């Protein structure tokens, strides 16, 4: 394309000052007399001049851009993920920031990881937000160690309290407790659990919280009733289908680590001729956008994603703009939402 119409040298010449002064005006330096400022501003306005972005970055200025990196092996067709992206953009835009988004198919692909790291090293962004990463993801830790600000959804690393690490977590403990209390209150004693990705923070955390909540009622968890998944609908379906073929007797309820997995489990149950909640109760976690719309409407634990993402984005930006900030962690709320997928036994 063509180069910028006009540069600061031209503006300086026309306004009858030096480039230094033009720069001072643009950057609102205090030591410029009002008269000079106005004179320069007029020329700037007249010619529609705006300083070259790359040139400014090379001198060390901020980019007013944050990166958004989605780690997802599959194409992103999940409405919840879409909403998260939208929330980050919404939140950043409202603060005058751009969002540079990229999907990371696999963190094992060195080429991709290199490109993402370069985004930071080359200062295309002032900071980044990571969604879907493993609890311990080496390249993210490397970036944090180098001092870049990183916002991470769903992470818990003991003792890592760097000021440039911004965390936002789910209240898995509270959520699981509410869910289990509710199921037990309905008379359930035999409850299966579909666990999430063991590498992600909420995978083991939700499982542990489930076990603890069960134990609080003096109930123990049958190891054969803990199924694996990776938080995806597909894995929920496959895992449940396989499990149904292998077990001698059924629990009265299934608690899924999230709603997507519950959707998959529901499908597998239906295909096996089991009806929810008549034959078996099903409980989710997250309150996915579709949870109120499926048949039967899913009883679940509501997480306020919009609020969490907005908070995370806001704090990432604050940390970028003020490097005296401390380590920050936000924990979202968890609230039982009773619908139609669980019944009395």
Q: Give the footprint of a second copy on this chain (CB under 8 A).
A: 1-5, 50-55, 57-58, 60, 65, 70, 75-77, 79, 81-83, 85-86, 89-90, 93, 98-103, 114, 118-119, 121-124, 146-148, 289-290, 293-294
CA distance 89 to 67: 10
User: Which two structure tokens, joined as six digits, stand for 69?
Assistant: 């990196």
Least distance (Å) between residue 227 CB and a second copy: 27
Pick one of a second copy, DNA, none as the site partner of residue 86 (Cβ within 5 to 8 A by kind).
a second copy
What angle is formed at CA 84 by the lines to CA 79 and CA 90, rounded to 5 degrees?
A: 120
Q: Which is nearer to a second copy, 118 or 271 (CB)?
A: 118
Q: Which is nearer to DNA, 55 or 199 (CB)?
A: 55
Evaluate the CA torsion angle 135, 140, 145, 151 in order and state its sign. Answer: negative
Q: Which is nearer to a second copy, 81 or 325 (CB)?
A: 81
Pick one of DNA, a second copy, none as the site partner of residue 276 (Cβ within 5 to 8 A by kind).
none
User: Which two structure tokens, joined as six digits, stand for 191?
Assistant: 């409850």
Q: Which is nearer to DNA, 6 or 345 (CB)?
A: 6
Least distance (Å) between residue 146 CB and DNA: 15
Least distance (Å) between residue 248 CB and a second copy: 36
**In 124-140, which positions are buried (b, 16+ CB within 10 angstroms) versus exposed (e)?**
ebbbbbbbbbbbebebb
Q: Which secondary-structure segment (H or E) carries 283?
A: strand 281-283
Residues that bind DNA (CB under 7 A): 3-4, 7-9, 17-24, 26-27, 31-33, 36, 49, 51-52, 55-56, 58-61
Least distance (Å) between residue 100 CB and DNA: 20
Helix (H, G, I), strand (E, B) or coil at 102: strand
How many CB atoms within 10 Å of residue 246? 7
Q: Are 187 and 203 in contact (CB under 8 A)?
A: no
Q: Are 280 and 253 in contact (CB under 8 A)?
A: yes
Least distance (Å) between residue 320 CB and DNA: 15
Pick one of a second copy, DNA, none as the site partner of residue 17 (Cβ within 5 to 8 A by kind).
DNA
Pick one of a second copy, DNA, none as the site partner of residue 18 (Cβ within 5 to 8 A by kind).
DNA
Q: Which is nearer to a second copy, 101 or 211 (CB)?
A: 101
Q: Which is nearer to DNA, 31 or 324 (CB)?
A: 31
How many CB atoms within 10 Å of residue 301? 28
DSSP letters spanning 136-155: S-HHHHHHHHTT-EEEEES-
Residue 279, φ and ψ in degrees, nearest 5: -90, -30
Pick one of DNA, a second copy, none as the site partner of residue 61 (Cβ within 5 to 8 A by kind).
DNA
Least distance (Å) between residue 210 CB and a second copy: 29
Pick one of a second copy, DNA, none as the site partner of residue 99 (Cβ within 5 to 8 A by kind).
a second copy
Q: Are 319 and 163 in contact (CB under 8 A)?
A: yes
Residue 302, φ and ψ in degrees, nearest 5: -80, 135
Least distance (Å) between residue 336 CB and DNA: 52
Pick one of a second copy, DNA, none as the site partner of residue 9 (Cβ within 5 to 8 A by kind).
DNA
Pick one of a second copy, DNA, none as the site partner of residue 161 (Cβ within 5 to 8 A by kind).
none
Least distance (Å) between residue 115 CB and DNA: 15
Q: Residue 92 contacts by C-beta under 8 Å, 6 or more apart in sequence?
A: 66, 98, 99, 313, 317
Chain centroid to CA 69: how far?
A: 9
């Amino acid at each position: 394309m063509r180069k910028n119409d006009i540069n600061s040298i031209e503006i300086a010449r026309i306004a009858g000052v030096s480039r230094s002064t033009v720069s001072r005006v643009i950057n609102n330096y205090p030591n410029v007399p009002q008269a000079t400022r106005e004179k320069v501003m007029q020329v700037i306005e007249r010619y529609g001049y705006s300083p070259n972005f790359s040139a400014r970055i090379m001198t060390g200025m901020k980019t007013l851009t944050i990166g958004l990196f989605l780690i997802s092996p599959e194409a992103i067709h999940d409405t919840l993920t879409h909403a998260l992206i939208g929330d980050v953009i919404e939140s950043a835009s409202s603060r005058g920031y751009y969002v540079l988004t990229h999907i990371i198919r696999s963190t094992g692909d060195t080429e991709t990881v290199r490109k993402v790291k370069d985004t930071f090293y080359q200062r295309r962004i002032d900071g980044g937000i990571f969604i879907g990463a493993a609890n311990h993801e080496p390249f993210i830790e490397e970036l944090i160690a180098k001092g870049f600000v990183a916002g991470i959804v769903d992470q818990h690393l003991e003792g890592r309290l760097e000021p440039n690490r911004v965390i936002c977590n789910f209240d898995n403990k509270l959520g699981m407790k509410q869910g289990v209390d509710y199921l037990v209150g309905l008379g359930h004693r035999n409850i299966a659990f579909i666990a999430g990705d063991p590498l992600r923070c909420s995978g083991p955390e939700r499982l542990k919280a489930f076990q603890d909540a069960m134990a609080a009622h003096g109930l123990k968890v049958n190891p054969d009733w803990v199924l694996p998944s990776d938080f995806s609908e597909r894995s929920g379906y496959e895992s449940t289908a396989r499990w149904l073929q292998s077990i001698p007797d059924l629990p009265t309820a299934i608690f899924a680590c999230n709603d997507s997995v519950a959707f998959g489990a529901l499908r597998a149950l239906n295909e096996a001729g089991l009806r929810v909640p008549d034959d078996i109760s099903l409980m989710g976690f997250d309150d996915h956008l579709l949870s109120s719309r499926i048949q039967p409407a899913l009883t679940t634990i509501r997480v306020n994603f919009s609020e969490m993402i907005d908070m995370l984005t806001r704090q990432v930006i604050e940390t970028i703009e003020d490097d005296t900030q401390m380590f920050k962690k936000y924990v979202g709320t968890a609230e039982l939402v009773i619908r139609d997928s669980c019944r009395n036994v």
